[in-house]
Amino acid sequence: MRDELIRRALVSVPQLLLMSFITFMFIDLAPGDILAKYRFDPRISSETVKMIESKYHFDKPIVVQYGHWLWRALHFDLGYSFSREAPVVSVIAERLFNTFLLSILTIIFTWAVAVPLGIYAAVKQYSWGDRILSFFSYFGMSLPGFFLALILMYLIYAGRSIPMLSAIPIGGMISPNYEDLSFWGKIVDRVAHLILPVIVLTIGALAGLQRISRGNMLEELRKQYITTARAKGLPEHKVIYGHALRNAINPLITLFGFEFSSLLSGAALLEIIVNWPGLGSLMLAAVRSQDTFLVMGSMLMGGMMLIAGNLIADILLVIADPRVRSR
């Protein structure tokens, strides 16, 4: 098992390399000029622009540029971000934690809600409860996340006379007076700002997971060993939770890794609307301003987060399911 994991980790290196190379090509081939804003500024002379160009080798062929980037990347120097006028590493580092926090919380809430709902739906298949649950969980999946976010933001504003609602911040990560708050005040403030984005993301991710856990539970419940357990007189709740659930969970764990990736992607637009400073909105902004080094750096980060997510999922799987171990 360990060997498999190590092999997987090693394989991901050339994969990342290939992906980074392809990405680099695309960015470079794209029409557009990373130094556009310098050229467009009436106060900057063209000599200045030329100097910047040669410093970052923008005037050399693509492969050479990639080589330079790779060499620096191996030294943990991901280059300089032109759109933010700061080193790429520092720009990403700030965002990484924020995205992580948002992703973890979303995953926790999604699981905490979706799995029980899935179990309920499976146990009471085709009942009205199942139908209603189906309907509501699909609801979340069917609205574009950014649209839902805007509507929620507006509703929070419209309901500002209701004390509960007026306490929920619209966007941002911390309040303007964050510094003045007590230690606990700061924690409460951060949590309050997380409410809106986590709700929107959870609603979006809920349905998929609920549906799959429902499906898996149904499958498990049909199996022989369940009938046997019931025949043996085991109480129903032990049958469901002690046996069926444990097996139904397995496929869900493998999804864990993909959740990271999809949270990174799906969250980009949402992050912009609720002003959550995460990796998603950073990548979007970077691609739009064709900030080559920032794009490369964030893409690398995204890829690494996905690999980490997959590996964690595999480890969890090994812990949860002894069958996987013996291979």
Kindly tell me which of 65 and 262 has the beta carbon lying closer to another protein: 262
Strand partners, 81: 86
- Counting beta carbons within 10 angstroms of the beta carbon of residue 113, is it exposed (0 to 12), middle (13 to 18) or buried (19 or more)? middle
Kindly tell me which of 113 and 262 has the beta carbon lying closer to another protein: 262
- How far apart are CB 58 and another protein at their closest, in Å? 12
Q: What is the largest CA-CA distance in the chain?
A: 86
- How far apart are CB 235 and another protein at their closest, in Å? 26
Burial 140-178 (b: 16+ CB within 10 A, else e): beeeebbebbeebbeebeeeeeeeeeeebbbbebebeee
Q: For residues 189 and 175, is the Cβ–Cβ distance under 8 A?
A: yes
Kindly tell me which of 71 and 157 has the beta carbon lying closer to another protein: 157
Quote the CA–CA distance of 165 and 160 in Å, as a whole number: 6
- How far apart are CB 242 and another protein at their closest, in Å? 22
- How far apart are CB 256 and another protein at their closest, in Å? 14
Kindly tell me which of 12 and 202 has the beta carbon lying closer to another protein: 12
Kindly tell me which of 9 and 238 has the beta carbon lying closer to another protein: 9
**Residue 55: its H or E element:** helix 46-55
Kindly tell me which of 10 and 233 has the beta carbon lying closer to another protein: 10
- How far apart are CB 175 and another protein at their closest, in Å? 8
Indicate left, alpha or beta for 291 from its phi (over 0: left) and psi (-120 to 50: alpha).
beta
Q: Which two tokens stand for residue 229?
A: 């357990």
- How far apart are CB 57 and another protein at their closest, in Å? 16
* 310-to-173, 194, 258 alpha-carbon distances in Å: 28, 25, 7
